[in-house]
């Protein structure tokens, strides 16, 4: 997606740090023809109902407020509203709320403009495809493909960096089997051993539903949705 696509998207920027305008705001204004700002969540809800922006960027200090009620109010108007939270602090409870509220992304400071633009691209893809970043894998498992977090029975599953990469590759290619060679190149950069791959699969199956990851004989693995 080229950045001129942002010119046709309306963005609402909410900043509860009233004494500080973030560095990326002026840059975003150069990309967006419809960029609305406010430093009050109450006025943001009113603006949202009137202007109906496609994307909300909420810069929140969790010491001052929680975005939960704000996002729930937005969701009551439009369940598919795209919300990006920018913050300096994030814990497991907040990650759980991100999945529950279908947030597109939590961005933790420091991040650069390109990271924010990538998240905006993800928002636009979801808007265009009418899909969600939250995937229901089973009755007990939920995966957030943008924040790369996995919930089991509403608890965050602790994954190693390689487990995250392996599972993410499966989800991105959910309609087919991923070959051993693809895992080798993407995760191990050509230095994978069969034992290393088997260990990843074994550990993941132990942490989640064993039926989710299927072995395709002679090819590789696929995710069973």
Domain that holds residue 206: 158-223
CB 61 within 8 A of CB 87: yes
Please check whether residues 31 and 106 belong to one and the same domain: yes
Q: CB-based contacts of 187: which residues, under 8 Å, 6+ apart? A: 162, 165, 166, 169
pLDDT value of residue 75 = 79
Pull the structure tokens for residue 40. Answer: 């009050």
3-state SS class at 11: strand
pLDDT value of residue 72 = 81
Is 165 domain-assigned?
yes
Please check whether residues 120 and 173 belong to one and the same domain: no
- Report how many domains make up the chain: 2
Pull the structure tokens for residue 224. Answer: 């069973």
Chain position carrying tokens 């009551």: 76
Is 139 domain-assigned?
no
Please check whether residues 37 and 86 belong to one and the same domain: yes
Q: Any idea what the CATH number is for the domain that residue 192 is in?
A: 1.10.10.10
Is 98 domain-assigned?
yes
Is 86 domain-assigned?
yes
Please check whether residues 57 and 101 belong to one and the same domain: yes
pLDDT value of residue 32 = 85
Please check whether residues 116 and 162 belong to one and the same domain: no
pLDDT value of residue 136 = 84
Is 142 domain-assigned?
no
Is 40 domain-assigned?
yes
Please check whether residues 102 and 173 belong to one and the same domain: no
Compute CA distances 111 → 68, 79, 94, 174, whole Å: 22, 27, 18, 29
**DSSP character at residue 140:** S
Is 177 domain-assigned?
yes
pLDDT value of residue 64 = 55
Is 105 domain-assigned?
yes
pLDDT value of residue 215 = 94
Which of 94, 114, 131 is a domain's end point?
131
Q: Any idea what the CATH number is for the domain that residue 95 is in?
A: 3.40.50.2300
pLDDT value of residue 1 = 46
Which sign, positive or negative, has the C-alpha torsion 215, 216, 222, 223? negative
Please check whether residues 163 and 126 belong to one and the same domain: no
Pull the structure tokens for residue 78. Answer: 């439009």
Please check whether residues 113 and 205 belong to one and the same domain: no
- pLDDT tens digit sequence for 21-76: 677 888 888 888 889 999 888 888 899 999 989 899 988 765 555 667 788 888 78
Mean pLDDT, the chain cut into blocks of 10 residues (225 residues total): 70 77 79 87 88 88 65 81 82 68 77 88 80 81 84 87 93 93 93 92 91 93 90
| Backbone φ, ψ for residue 144 (5° rounding) | -100, 105
Please check whether residues 19 and 81 belong to one and the same domain: yes
Please check whether residues 65 and 168 belong to one and the same domain: no
CB 74 within 8 A of CB 81: yes
Please check whether residues 16 and 125 belong to one and the same domain: yes
């Amino acid at each position: 997606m080229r950045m001129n696509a942002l010119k046709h998207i309306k963005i609402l920027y909410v900043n509860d740090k009233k004494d500080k305008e973030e560095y990326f705001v002026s840059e975003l204004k150069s990309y967006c023809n419809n960029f609305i700002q406010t430093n009050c969540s109450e006025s943001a809800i009113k603006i949202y109902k009137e202007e109906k922006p496609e994307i909300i960027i909420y810069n929140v200090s969790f010491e001052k407020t929680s975005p939960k009620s704000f996002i729930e109010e937005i969701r009551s108007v439009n369940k598919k509203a795209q919300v990006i939270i920018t913050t300096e602090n994030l814990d497991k409870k907040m990650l759980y709320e991100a999945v529950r509220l279908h947030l597109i992304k939590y961005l933790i400071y420091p991040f650069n403009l390109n990271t924010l633009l990538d998240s905006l691209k993800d928002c636009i893809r979801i808007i265009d495809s009418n899909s969600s970043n939250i995937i229901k894998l089973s009755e007990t498992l939920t995966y957030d493909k943008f924040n790369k977090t996995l919930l089991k029975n509403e608890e965050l599953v602790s994954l190693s960096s390689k487990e995250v990469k392996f599972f993410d590759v499966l989800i991105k290619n959910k309609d087919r089997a991923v070959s051993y060679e693809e895992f080798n190149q993407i995760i191990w950069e050509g230095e994978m051993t069969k034992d290393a791959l088997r260990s990843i699969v074994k550990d993941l199956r132990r942490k989640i539903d064993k039926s989710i990851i299927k072995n395709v004989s002679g090819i590789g693995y696929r995710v069973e949705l």
